[in-house]
């Protein structure tokens, strides 16, 4: 028998907060240590199937806590042997969890995916037409990057990286002031998907972020897909048990 861990947060819980059913319909409860709590549910199977229903149930539990509290969402599949192990987890990581909860206080995650209008083969990514104002100036290209770009076998990869960095820089510059922190994620496969950006935004400013994103330059050969607000899944990787 083991237990699935959903998220970490500070007590107390709002009295009217109702816990949804956890993965596989198991009851969700909390383990507590010195003002910190972890949401758990029993895990009947030795292995967790990463199917759609399990992922949705997991996310529903995390979001139910997130709507009322600041939470550290854990990666799907994090588990402990018994509820007491969850208390040990909180105890051993107390300072890190406490510091991160302070950093995440009042913040939500918003996402932007940059997609090509017409998905094309990876080999064609370096020929993606980008307006000159979206490309970095000469001063932004390092000597090492310039030297690498001159090598025939790295020309395509260098061009793709230049385009991705230019898009990330310009999108973040255009949204400056509407977020407090961001992360850029480059896809392992570029077929139709250029990059993903994740932003930490004050909860009360989510609508302002949406409006700012809606006014991004329109003369672009790519499209943007927006999502959020979400629990800050992409800003807690260093604290995953």
- For 17-52, the pLDDT digits (tens) are 677 889 989 999 999 999 999 999 998 766 666 788
Cβ-based neighbour number of residue 233 at 10 Å: 17
| 99 and 111 together in one domain | no
Residue finishing a domain among 105, 128, 153: 105
The phi and psi torsions of 131 (rounded to 5 degrees) equal -55, 145
pLDDT at position 157 is 57
| 54 and 156 together in one domain | no
pLDDT at position 98 is 95
| 6 and 121 together in one domain | no
| 67 and 137 together in one domain | no
Q: How far apart are CA 23 and CA 231, in angstroms?
A: 18
pLDDT-flagged residues of the chain (< 50): 119-130, 134-155
Residues 6+ apart with CB under 8 A from 69: 9, 10, 13, 14
| 83 and 126 together in one domain | no
Q: Taking the complete model, does pTM exceed 0.85, yes or no?
A: no
Residue finishing a domain among 105, 126, 159: 105
Which residue range forms the structural domain that includes residue 153?
107-237
Cβ-based neighbour number of residue 232 at 10 Å: 23
7 CB-side CA count, 13 A: 26
Q: How far apart are CA 205 and CA 22, in angstroms?
A: 30
| 229 and 113 together in one domain | yes
| 94 and 115 together in one domain | no
| 88 and 180 together in one domain | no
pLDDT at position 234 is 92
C-alpha pair distances (Å), 132 with each of 16, 105, 129, 135, 208: 54, 39, 9, 5, 28
Residue finishing a domain among 89, 105, 121: 105
The count of domains in the chain is 2
| 117 and 101 together in one domain | no
Q: How far apart are CA 172 and CA 183, in angstroms?
A: 10
| 119 and 18 together in one domain | no
pLDDT at position 20 is 81
| 209, two tokens | 């972020």
Query: DSSP character for 45?
Result: S
| 131 and 96 together in one domain | no
pLDDT at position 109 is 96
| 147 and 94 together in one domain | no
CA angle 177, 181, 207 (to 5 degrees): 55
Q: Do 157 and 187 touch, CB atoms closer than 8 A?
A: no
pLDDT at position 117 is 65
Give the rounded distance of the alpha carbon of 196 from its chain centre. Answer: 9
């Amino acid at each position: 028998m083991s237990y699935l861990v959903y998220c970490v947060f500070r007590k107390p819980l709002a009295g009217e907060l109702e816990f949804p059913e956890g993965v596989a319909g198991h009851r969700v409860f909390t383990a507590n240590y010195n003002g910190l709590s972890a949401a758990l549910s029993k895990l009947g199977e030795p292995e967790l199937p990463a199917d759609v229903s399990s992922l949705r149930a997991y996310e529903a539990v995390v979001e139910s806590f997130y709507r009322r509290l600041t939470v550290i969402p854990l990666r799907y599949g994090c588990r402990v042997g018994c509820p007491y192990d969850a208390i040990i987890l909180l105890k051993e990581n107390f300072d890190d969890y406490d510091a991160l909860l302070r950093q995440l206080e009042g913040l939500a995650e918003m996402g932007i995916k940059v997609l090509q209008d017409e998905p094309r083969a990876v080999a064609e990514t370096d020929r993606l037409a980008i307006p000159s104002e979206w490309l970095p100036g000469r001063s932004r290209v390092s000597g090492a990057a310039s030297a690498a770009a001159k090598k025939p076998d790295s020309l395509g990869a260098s061009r793709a990286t230049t385009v991705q960095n230019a898009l990330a820089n310009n999108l973040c510059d255009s949204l400056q002031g509407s977020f407090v922190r961001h992360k850029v994620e480059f896809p392992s496969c570029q077929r139709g998907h250029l990059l993903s950006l994740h932003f930490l935004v004050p909860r009360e400013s989510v609508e302002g972020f949406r409006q700012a994103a809606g006014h991004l330059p329109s003369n672009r050969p790519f499209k943007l897909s927006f999502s959020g607000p979400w629990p800050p899944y992409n800003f807690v990787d260093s604290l995953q048990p």
